[in-house]
Amino acid sequence: MKALLLDGKEVSARLKEKVAVQVDRLKENGIYPRLVVILVGDDPASAVYVRNKARTSEKLGIQSETITLKSTINEEELLAYIAKLNRDDTVHGILVQLPLPQHINAEKIIEAISPDKDVDCFHPRNVGLLMLGKPYLLPCTPAGIVEIFKYYKIETSGKHVVILGRSNIVGKPMANMLVQKAAHANATVTLAHSRTKNIKALCRQADILIAAIGKAEFVTADMVNGDAVVIDVGINRVEAPDAPRGYKLSGDVDFVSVSEKAAAITPVPGGVGPMTIAMLMQNTVTAAKHLSNFREKDKTEK
Least Cβ distance, residue 120 to ligand GUN (angstroms): 5
- Interface residue with ligand GUN among 140, 148, 206, 229 (CB under 6 A) is 140
**Nearest CB to ligand GUN, comparing residues 120 and 147:** 120
Could you tell me how many residues make up the chain? 302
Cα distances (angstroms) measured from residue 128 to each of 73, 147, 172, 189, 280: 30, 21, 12, 18, 19
**Nearest CB to ligand GUN, comparing residues 95 and 268:** 95
**Nearest CB to ligand GUN, comparing residues 45 and 183:** 45
Which phi and psi angles does 190 have, rounded to 5°? -115, 125
Number of residues forming the site for ligand GUN (CB under 6 A): 9
Nearest of 178, 99, 90, 105 to residue 139 by alpha carbon: 178
278 binds ligand GUN (CB under 6 A): no
Q: Which residues pair with 237 in a beta bridge?
A: 249
Please answer whether residues 21 and 280 qualify as being in contact, where contact means their C-beta atoms are separated by less than 8 angstroms: no
97 binds ligand GUN (CB under 6 A): yes
Which residues belong to the active site?
Answer: 53, 97, 120
- Interface residue with ligand GUN among 20, 98, 131, 202 (CB under 6 A) is 98
- Interface residue with ligand GUN among 148, 169, 229, 253 (CB under 6 A) is 169
Site string for ligand GUN, 34-53 (x = CB under 6 A): --------------------
**Nearest CB to ligand GUN, comparing residues 3 and 94:** 94
* Helical ranges in the chain per DSSP H: 8-28, 44-59, 75-87, 106-112, 124-131, 140-151, 171-178, 199-204, 255-258, 272-291
141: Cβ contacts below 8 Å, ≥ 6 apart: 169, 170, 174, 212, 233, 272, 275, 276, 279
120 binds ligand GUN (CB under 6 A): yes
Least Cβ distance, residue 232 to ligand GUN (angstroms): 15
118 binds ligand GUN (CB under 6 A): no
Site for ligand GUN in 173-212 (CB under 6 A): none
Least Cβ distance, residue 124 to ligand GUN (angstroms): 15
Least Cβ distance, residue 176 to ligand GUN (angstroms): 16
Q: Which of these segments, 26-34, 93-101, 156-164, 242-250, binds ligand GUN (CB under 6 A)?
A: 93-101
Please answer whether residues 287 and 120 qualify as being in contact, where contact means their C-beta atoms are separated by less than 8 angstroms: no
228: Cβ contacts below 8 Å, ≥ 6 apart: 206, 207, 208, 209, 262, 263
95 binds ligand GUN (CB under 6 A): yes
Mode of pairing for the β-strands spanning 236-239 and 247-250 = antiparallel
Least Cβ distance, residue 212 to ligand GUN (angstroms): 11
Least Cβ distance, residue 63 to ligand GUN (angstroms): 18
Cα separation, 289 vs 196, in Å, equals 42
Q: What is the DSSP string of 95-134?
A: EEPSPPPTTS-HHHHHHHS-GGGBTT--SHHHHHHHHTT-
Site for ligand GUN in 207-236 (CB under 6 A): none
**Nearest CB to ligand GUN, comparing residues 235 and 285:** 235
Cα separation, 101 vs 83, in Å, equals 20
Cα separation, 180 vs 200, in Å, equals 26
106 binds ligand GUN (CB under 6 A): no
Q: Which residues bind ligand GUN (CB under 6 A)?
A: 95-98, 120, 140-141, 169, 276
